[in-house]
Structure 1
Amino acid sequence: MNQTLNKTIKTLILTLPLTFALTGCVVVVGDDEGRGWNNSNSSSEWKEVQRTNKAKVAQLEVGETISQVKTTFGSADFNEAFTDNDKQYQVLFYRTRHKHSDGETTKDECTPLIFVDGVLQSWGQKAYKKL
């Protein structure tokens, strides 16, 4: 009986540390505040942002000022600006379509809104490519 008990104790001494070492492996991917597009809490969040932005884009009218659009849409996901032939161009990008499941918003997932001298002139990929 002592021999069986010793064998059991030796087995436990060898296997318990291995068991605890293997069960402690956890990988966490995402940002510290839980705002990444991949986490389960934000899955519906990015879908709602896209749906809302699409609806807002559908209501846009040429001639709106950049401040009017920013009031309606809020902060842009991306913002570009440049001057050409004495005209100031500014392009605001708002997320409107899902393409990549990488947790990041990219410009190809956004609709560009093109302003010339602070006034909305056009929007969409076709218009952006003409710049």
Structure 2
Amino acid sequence: MIKKVLQYIFLGLAVYAGIVYLVINFYKDDPRAMLWKDREAFNKRFISKLKPDTRMDLDSVLDNLGSPDLTYVKSNDDTVFQIVFYRTQLMKPDGITTQDECTGLLFKNGQLILWGAGAVVAYEKALNNDE
């Protein structure tokens, strides 16, 4: 009797471990379904994993992070600069997302070229060069 109970316990633990493994390795996080704190942490973690040699386009970022909190586009001649902002740190719990609560990702013709504070500076420089 005890042997049978132990077998059921072991089987239950094995099934549970298998389900946990599958969820951790194959379940894709959906930022749209997250609470704001979880989404903020998810955005920060995703952006922190980007490397200087990362080849990523705007569609890939949108697929991974969902809709940006803020976005701006600037076009001159045949070059399009787009900066998208994702919230990564809460500054003031007022229900309004501001640029200082976000990390910017700068795209040139749809390709990621910079992120972080450097992205904002480069975007502002591109704005000033056209004036």
- Displacement after TM superposition at 1:118 (Å): 0.5
- After TM superposition, the score normalised by the length of structure 2 is 0.61
Q: Give 2:21's aligned residue.
A: none
Q: What is the alpha-carbon distance in structure 1 between the residues aligned to residue 92 and residue 118 of structure 2?
A: 21
Q: Give 1:108's aligned residue.
A: 100
* Superposed CA offset, 1:73-114 (max 9, x none): 111111111113531111111000111121111111011110
Confirm or deny that 1:72 pairs with 2:64. Answer: yes
Q: Which has the larger radius of gyration?
A: 1
* Superposed CA offset, 1:38-73 (max 9, x none): xxxxxx932211111011102234320111111011
**Letter of the aligned partner of 1:68 in structure 2?**
S
Confirm or deny that 1:59 pairs with 2:49. Answer: yes
Partner SS for 2:94? coil
Confirm or deny that 1:96 pairs with 2:99. Answer: no
Q: As a proportion of its length, which structure holds more helix? A: 2
Q: What is the alpha-carbon distance in structure 1 between the residues aligned to residue 111 and residue 91 of structure 2?
A: 29
Q: Which runs of 4+ in 1 moved over 4 A?
A: none
Check whether the contact 2:83–2:119 (CA below 8 A) recurs between aligned residues.
no
Q: Give 2:117's aligned residue.
A: 125
- Displacement after TM superposition at 1:129 (Å): 1.6
Q: Give 1:49's aligned residue.
A: 39
RMSD, aligned CA:
1.7
How many residues were matched structurally?
88
Check whether the contact 2:79–2:109 (CA below 8 A) recurs between aligned residues.
yes
Tell me, which stretches of 5 or more residues in structure 2 are unaligned? 1-33, 124-131
Tell me, which stretches of 5 or more residues in structure 1 are unaligned? 1-43
Q: What is the alpha-carbon distance in structure 2 between the residues aligned to residue 104 and residue 73 of structure 1?
A: 19
Partner SS for 1:130? helix
